Structure 1
Amino acid sequence: MSKKRKGKEKAREESNSDHDSDTIDRETLEISSTARNPSGKNQYASTPSLQEIANILREYHKSNPDFRYADYIDALARDHGYKIGRTKIAGYLSQLGLSTSSRGNRMPKSEKTQIILDELAKDPLQTRGPRAIKESLNLLGHKIGRGDISDVMHDFEEEGFKKRHPRAKKKTNRTPLTAVGPDEEWSMDGHDKLNAAGFGVYGIRDKWAKKRLHYRVVPSNRYAAVVGVVFLECVKKCGGIPIQGSSDRGSEIRDAYAFQKSLREMFAPDLLDAVVPSWMFLPSPQNITVESGWRSLFYTWGVNVLEFYNSGLHGGFFEQGNIVHEQTARWIWFPVVQRSLDNFCNEQNNHRIQKQTEKLLPSGGTPNQFYSNPAKYGGKSCLIPVEEAVVDELLANCQEGHERMRYVDTAFEEIAQAAYDALEQPEITLQNAWTVFRAMIGKLEM
C-alpha cells in the first residue's frame, strides 16, 4: 500500500473516532439530564455511622424492645433528626445484636426453656398467656418466639390455658371513648383488692393513649392528702398537668382536685372552668379509662403478689403482733411490691394494641408510642407545662400526705437498713422476699 493511501485511511479512522466520542458525550449528557439522581448521592445525606448511634439504638431497644424497623426510623428522625433507611437500620441492629425478630435467635432449646420457666415462676396462678410472657421476656432482653413459649407452657402449665379461656371469664361491657390527644384527660382511681394485705394502690391513666402514667403502692388510698401527693408526683413526672382530670366522687380526690384547679388557673388562665371544666366527676362505672385496667392488673399482677405474700405470712415463721416482725415485713414488702407494680405498668405501656379501624382512640402501636408521638396516630399533645419549682413547693407542703404514705417508723428504717447491709444487700424480689425477711430477723434478734 502506498504512503499516500495509508495517510488517507489513518485520517478517516481519526475522524470516525472523534465522531464516536462526540456521540458518547452527547448520550452521557442526555442521560445525566434525565436521571432521577444524576449526582449519585442518595436521599439519606445525614446518615450517621454505627459508632455515632450505637448507644441510641441500644437505649431504644432497652426501653422499647418490641420496636420494629419503622419505629426505629421514626424515633431517630423525631428525636435526633437522622434519616436512615430500613436496610441500613437492619444492618446496624444486626451488628449490635439487637434483632427485631425472634426468628434469628439461635439460643439452645434448653436455655430457652429455662428462661421461660423462670418467667412462669413469677406467675404461680398462671394468669398470663404466651403473648404476655413474650412481652415480659422482651423487656428483659430475651427474644424468644411466641411458638416456643407456647410449647413450654403447654408442657408445664396446660391448666393455665383452660383458666384463661374467654368462656371461663365474665365479659365487661365497654363504652367507646374519645379524646383529642395525650394529656387531654387523666383518669384517676384507687384499687382496693390488695387492701387486706395492707397494700393500697392508686393509679393515674391517660385517656387518649391508655398509658399508665403513675401508679403508687401506699398504706391506704382513702386519704385525700395521699392522693394529692400521688397527683403532684405525676405532674412532676410528666412535666405538666392535663386539660382535665376525671374521677368518681370519692372524698379522697379533694386535694388532687384543688391542685389541678389552681395549677390550671396559674398556667392556662385562658381555659375558663365554665367552658372546659378542670375536673369531671363521674359515676364509678363511667370512669372506665382507669377502671377498665383494674381487672387485668389484679388478675395478672395482684393475685400473684398476694400468693407470694400470703405464702410467708402464714408460713410459720412470721409472728403476728411482734413489732419487729411486722416492721421488717413492711420494710421489705412495700418497696418490692412497688417495683413489681412498676414492672407491670412498663410491660402494659409497651404492649402492642392491634390495629382496630373502628376504634376511636389510637391502635396499631403501644401506649408509650401513642403518648410520645401522638401526631403519627392522629392526635396532638394537650399537656399544660408547669414550672417544676412550683410543684416542688407544693410537694414540700404536703406533710400530712407524706406522713400517711410512710410504711415503717422513721427510727426503724435505720435499724432495718443496718441489718440489710450486714447481709450485703441481696436483691429482693417477690420470690425471695420472705427468705430475706428470715435472714434479717436473724440479724435483728441476735
Structure 2
Amino acid sequence: MPPKRKKKKPEGDSDDGDPPTKRKSNARNPSGKNQHAAVPPLEEIADIIRKYHSDNPSFKYPDYIEALMRDHDIKIGRSKIAQYLSQLGLSTSSRGNRMPDDEQTQLILDELANDPNQTRGPRVVKEALNLSGHKIGRNKISGVMHTFEEEGFEKRDPKAQKKTVKRSALTSVGPHEEWSMDGHDKLNEAGFGIYGIRDKWGTKYLHYRVLPSNRYATVIGVVYLECAKKIWSQTNVSFSTTGIPIQGSSDHGSEVRDAHALQKTLREEYWDDDDAAAVPAWKFLESIHNITVESGWRPLFYKWGVNVLDLYFAASIIPLVFLQILMFFFFFRQTSNWIWFPLVQRDLDNFCHQQNNHRIRYQAEKILPSGGTPNEFFANPGKWGGENCLVEVPAHRIDELLDEARETAREHMRYVDDEFDVLARDAYEALGKPDITLHSAWVVFRAMVEQLDRM
C-alpha cells in the first residue's frame, strides 16, 4: 500500500499559529470600487431620461449613455439604459412598436392633415411623429403617403422645382459665434409678422417670434433680448449664465437699430478678449448674403406657413359676421387675434422644435457640422469640432434690459387691448376652455363671439 502523501500547506501557513499571509491579487480593481457612483434607481433619473427622449427623439442607446455621463456624471451601461427606457415606455426604434397597423395608419393620416399642401416628405413626417411620442417606421409612413397622397411626391420632386442659386460654403468656429437675424413677411396677409434668430454654426432655430409687425426697432430689440434669456434653457447644464453671441448679423433694415445697440453695449461690457477689436459686434449684409437665416425661410414657409394660411382662410368668415351682425368689428378682430396669435406662436415653436431635431445628412465636403441634429451639435459642440463662443452675461442684467425694452415696445407688440383680454379670458372660461388648434380655432372663435355678445 503506497504511503499517504502529506498535504501541502497553503502558502503562509505555519506551525506556530501565525495568521496566513494574503496572496497578492491580480485583479485590475481589487477594491471593487469604481470612480463613478452606482447607477441611480429609475425613479431618480426618470425625468432626465424623459427630457432627453423629448428633446432628442433620434437618440440611440450610445447617445443616452454619453449624455448622462457628460451632463450628470452618471455611468450607465447599454443593458441598463435599455431596461429603463422599456420601463418608461420609451423606445429608440420603431421596430419595438407594437401598435396595431390601423392605429399607425390613422396617426400618419392625422399628421398629414396638418400639411394640406403636401410639403413634407416621409422623413419629416417620421420626425414629427417621433416628437409626439409615436415611433413609426419610415417604410410604413411612405406606404401610407403613396396610398393617400401620391401627388405629393411629384410636388416635392427637386427636378420639378426651380433651381436655386449656388452658394459658397459657410464657416464658423462654433455655436454663438454669430446669430443671423431677419424678418419674414409671407404671413402678413393674415396679420402675422415673423422675426427669427438662427445660429450660423449649428443652424439651430434659436428664437422665432410671431408679431403684429416685425418693422419696429423697439420690438426687434425685445426679440434679441428674449433670445439671450432663452439660451440657458436651450443649453441644459452647459452654462451657469445666459449670454449673447460674439457677433450679430442682418441686412441693412432699420428695424435692427435697438438689437445692434444692445449687442454692441453688452459685448463691450462682458467680452474681454484679445480679438475684440478685430471682430465687429455686428455685421451688415446684403439680403442675398444673409444666408444662415434666409435659407431657413423657404422650409419654414412651404412646410409650415402655407398650411397656417390655408387653415386661417379656410373658414368662411362672412357667415360668422352675419350671425353676429350686431357685434362691432372691434370684437370680431380682437377675438380673432386673441385666439390666433398664441396659437400660431405655439405652432411656430413646434416647427422650430422639429427642425432642431431634424437630422442633417452627413456631407464630407461641408465645413459646418453634419451627420446629426442642431440640438446634438449644441449639446456637445466639441464632438463636432466646434468651440462654444457664448459671451456670458449675468441673467439679472438681461432681465433688467428686457423689462425696459418690453415696456418701450408694449404698444407695438400687443395684439389685443388689455380690457378686451380680460373679457376674452372670462368668455373662454365660461365656455369650459375648449382646446384651440389650427383645425378648431374658428369653431372656438364663433362660440366666443356668441359668448361675448351675451356678456
**TM-score, structure 2 length as denominator?**
0.89
Q: Secondary structure of 1:316's partner?
A: helix
Asked if 1:296 is matched to 2:299, the reply is: yes
Q: Which deviates the most, 66-75 or 168-177?
A: 168-177
Give, in whole Å, the separation in 2 of the partners of 1:74 and 1:285. Answer: 39
Asked if 1:136 is matched to 2:128, the reply is: yes
Give, in whole Å, the separation in 2 of the partners of 1:232 and 1:163. Answer: 39
Superposition map of 1:12-51 within 5 A: 12=5, 15=6, 17-18=7-8, 33=26, 46-51=38-43
Q: Which residue of 2 aligns with 1:359?
A: 366
Query: Which one of the candidate residues 443, 447, 451 is aligned to 1:443?
Result: 451
Letter in 2 for 1:107: M
Give, in whole Å, the separation in 2 of the partners of 1:232 and 1:313. Answer: 39
Instruction: Measure how far apart 1:44 and its partner are.
Output: 6.5
For structure 1, which runs of at least 5 residues remain unmatched after alignment?
23-27
Change (3 A) 1:118 1:395: same
Contact 2:36 2:73 in 1 (8 A): no
Give, in whole Å, the separation in 2 of the partners of 1:339 and 1:51. Answer: 31
Give, in whole Å, the separation in 2 of the partners of 1:74 and 1:290. Answer: 31
Give, in whole Å, the separation in 2 of the partners of 1:392 and 1:18. Answer: 80
Change (3 A) 1:48 1:171: farther
Q: What does the per-residue CA deviation read over 1:184-243, in whole Å, with 9 as the maximum and x for residues that have no partner?
A: 100000001111111000000011111101000001111111111101111111111100
Change (3 A) 1:263 1:36: same
Instruction: Measure how far apart 1:68 and its partner are.
Output: 1.1
Q: Secondary structure of 1:103's partner?
A: helix
Letter in 2 for 1:307: D
Change (3 A) 1:85 1:414: same
Give, in whole Å, the separation in 1 of the partners of 2:321 and 2:35. Answer: 67
Asked if 1:147 is matched to 2:150, the reply is: no
Letter in 2 for 1:93: L
Q: Which residue of 2 aligns with 1:211?
A: 204
Q: Secondary structure of 1:214's partner?
A: strand
Structure having the larger proportion of residues in helix: 1
Q: Which residue of 1 aligns with 2:169?
A: 176
Q: Which deviates the most, 414-423 or 298-307?
A: 414-423
Change (3 A) 1:324 1:291: same
Instruction: Measure how far apart 1:64 and its partner are.
Output: 1.7
For structure 2, which runs of at least 5 residues remain unmatched after alignment?
12-21, 232-241
Q: Which residue of 2 aligns with 1:382?
A: 389
Letter in 2 for 1:366: T
Q: Which deviates the most, 121-130 or 292-301?
A: 121-130
Query: Which one of the candidate residues 295, 308, 312 is aligned to 1:305?
Result: 308
Query: Which one of the candidate residues 118, 122, 129 is aligned to 2:114?
Result: 122
Question: What root-mean-square deviation, in Å, do the aligned CA atoms of Structure 1 and Structure 2 show?
Answer: 2.2
Change (3 A) 1:317 1:124: same
Instruction: Measure how far apart 1:397 and its partner are.
Output: 2.1
Give, in whole Å, the separation in 2 of the partners of 1:46 and 1:68. Answer: 22
Asked if 1:162 is matched to 2:154, the reply is: yes
Asked if 1:425 is matched to 2:433, the reply is: yes
Query: Which one of the candidate residues 343, 352, 371 is aligned to 1:345?
Result: 352
Q: Which deviates the most, 273-282 or 220-229?
A: 273-282
Contact 1:44 1:85 in 2 (8 A): no
Letter in 1 for 2:392: P
Q: What does the per-residue CA deviation read over 1:232-257, in whole Å, with 9 as the maximum and x for residues that have no partner?
A: 11111111110000000111110100
Query: Which one of the candidate residues 214, 224, 242 is aligned to 1:231?
Result: 224
Q: Secondary structure of 1:18's partner?
A: coil
Instruction: Measure how far apart 1:63 and its partner are.
Output: 2.1
Give, in whole Å, the separation in 1 of the partners of 2:226 and 2:29. Answer: 53
Contact 2:340 2:441 in 1 (8 A): yes
Query: Which one of the candidate residues 58, 64, 72 is aligned to 2:50?
Result: 58
Letter in 2 for 1:211: K
Contact 2:225 2:402 in 1 (8 A): yes
Instruction: Measure how far apart 1:313 and its partner are.
Output: 5.4
Q: Which residue of 1 aligns with 2:85?
A: 93
Contact 2:94 2:135 in 1 (8 A): yes
Q: Which residue of 2 aligns with 1:412?
A: 420
Give, in whole Å, the separation in 2 of the partners of 1:391 and 1:42. Answer: 42
Q: Secondary structure of 1:317's partner?
A: helix
Asked if 1:283 is matched to 2:276, the reply is: no
Give, in whole Å, the separation in 2 of the partners of 1:308 and 1:315. Answer: 16
Q: Which deviates the most, 63-72 or 83-92?
A: 83-92
Give, in whole Å, the separation in 1 of the partners of 2:172 and 2:66. Answer: 24
Letter in 2 for 1:251: S
Give, in whole Å, the separation in 1 of the partners of 2:321 and 2:332. Answer: 6
Contact 1:257 1:279 in 2 (8 A): yes
Instruction: Measure how far apart 1:58 and its partner are.
Output: 1.7
Asked if 1:110 is matched to 2:102, the reply is: yes
Give, in whole Å, the separation in 2 of the partners of 1:222 and 1:50. Answer: 50
Instruction: Please say which structure displays the higher CA radius of gyration.
Output: 1
**TM-score, structure 1 length as denominator?**
0.91
Give, in whole Å, the separation in 2 of the partners of 1:342 and 1:45. Answer: 38
Q: Secondary structure of 2:320's partner?
A: coil
Q: Which residue of 1 aligns with 2:330?
A: 323
Percent identity between the two aligned chains: 63
Give, in whole Å, the separation in 2 of the partners of 1:208 and 1:317. Answer: 48
Give, in whole Å, the separation in 1 of the partners of 2:46 and 2:167. Answer: 43
Q: Which residue of 2 aligns with 1:25?
A: none
Change (3 A) 1:313 1:298: farther
Contact 1:229 1:402 in 2 (8 A): no
Q: Which residue of 1 aligns with 2:410?
A: 402
